[in-house]
Amino acid sequence: MSRLLSLAILVLVAGSAAAKGWPTPAAGESASGDPEILFTFDDGPNPTTTPKVLDELKKHGIHAVFFMVGEMAGSENKKVPAIVKRILDEGHVLASHTMKHHDLCRLKSEEAAAADIDDGIAAIEAVAKVKLAWFRAPYGVRCDRLEKLLAARGLQHFHWDLDPQEWKHNDAQKTTSYVTGSLARSSRRNVLLVHDIKKATVTSLPQILEWIDTENKSRREAGKRPIRILQAPAYAAEQLPEGLAAWSIDAKTRVVGFRTALASVLP
Ligand SMILES: [Zn+2]
């Protein structure tokens, strides 16, 4: 194959991938110039695993985004409404991840895709009693149909940068190694995608957070840039129009000492 032809193929492949994916970095550039991480949890809530994730986040003063599936939030399990309330009370941000976790670009009709988006939001809002502004498409798919549906609803797609794929392998050690390895090399803002319904997430989260604490201690001693936690409500208040960010402000005002928690994780 000629060099020119292989170069043309490379450009074509790169071009088509770029056209289909959502822009990265998913949450823009690091404002501080330090490496940053924002935690996002998809596919919950789950009555067994989500509280364990919340315990760990609380211990480290971290506020995350929970992209819930409507069927899970509206589940008949009696523990679920209290978990949704706890997520808000502890200063996390709620967002939507559809009703049934369909691939919205492959569903047969636009109507079915619209229904999966709308039903998901309705189910989560009915339990949470707050308005949702951020949306994440199952599998992170992007297509003209989906962009049109989101624009018509004033929803913003929130993608990710780091995907340890624990939804597939459910291996805690692999998850921890991937995340800590990526952060060790990073000099930018990273949105982490993990799943609060997975045992691997429950096991690896304390390992990742302890690694960040230890790493930051040695970075401070060496005069190097620390890894900062980007707090989800603060980011939402910055990014979303006032009306759409009402729920995040609400979530913030409910949390006594939110600013203290923020200060405790910022070096
Ligand atoms: Zn998902």
In a domain, 10, yes or no: no
Instruction: Report residue 134 as tokens.
Output: 């951020």
Q: Read off the pLDDT of each residue in 31-54 and give the average, rounded to a whole number.
A: 96
Is a pLDDT exceeding 80 seen at residue 7?
A: no
Distance CA 106, CA 120 (A): 18
Active site residue 195: yes
* Ligand 1 midpoint to CA 82 (Å): 22
Nearest-5° angle of CA 156, CA 244, CA 136?
25
Residue 31's pLDDT is: 82
What is the distance in A from the centroid of ligand 1 to the CA of 90? 23
Band of pLDDT at residue 76, cut at 50, 70 and 90: very high
For residues 113 and 122, the answer to whether their CB atoms sit within 8 Å is no
pLDDT for res 75: 94
**Structural domain for 82, as ranges:** 24-265
Q: What percent of the chain has pLDDT over 90?
A: 73
Any domain includes 212: yes
Please name the residues in contact with 126: beta carbons below 8 A apart, sequence gap of 6 or more.
74
Q: Is residue 12 part of a domain?
A: no
8 within a domain of the structure (yes/no): no
What predicted TM-score, i.e. pTM, was given to this entire model?
A: 0.86
> Which has the minimum average pLDDT: 16-20, 140-144, 154-158, 210-214?
16-20
Q: For residue 139, how far is its CA from the centre of ligand 1 (angstroms)? A: 6
User: What is the tally of structural domains in the chain?
Assistant: 1
Q: How confident is the model at residue 244 (pLDDT cuts 50, 70, 90)?
A: low
**Could you say which of 92, 102, 195, 196 is catalytic?**
195
pLDDT for the residue numbered 248:
52
Cα–Cα distance for residue pair 34/13, rounded to 1 Å? 32
Sequence-separated contacts (24+) of 28-31 with Cβ below 8 Å: 28/189, 29/188, 29/189, 30/187, 30/188, 30/189, 30/228
Residue 229 lies in a domain: yes
Please indicate, yes or no, if residue 2 is contained in any of the structural domains.
Answer: no
Which protein residues have a CB closer than 5 Å to ligand 1 (ion)?
42-43, 138
- Angle 199-221/172-185 helices, nearest 10 degrees? 30
Distance 40 CA to ligand 1 centre (A): 11
Active-site position among 42, 116, 161, 171: 42
* CATH code of residue 79: 3.20.20.370
Q: Is 35 exposed, middle or buried (0-12, 13-18, 19+ CB in 10 A)?
A: buried
Average pLDDT, the chain: 86
Give the pLDDT confidence score for residue 59 in this predicted structure.
96
Contact 204, 233 (CB under 8 A): no
CA of 121 to the centre of ligand 1 (A): 15
pLDDT digits (tens, 9 = 90+) for 80-134: 999 999 999 998 999 999 999 999 999 999 999 999 999 999 999 999 988 888 9
Q: Is residue 7 part of a domain?
A: no
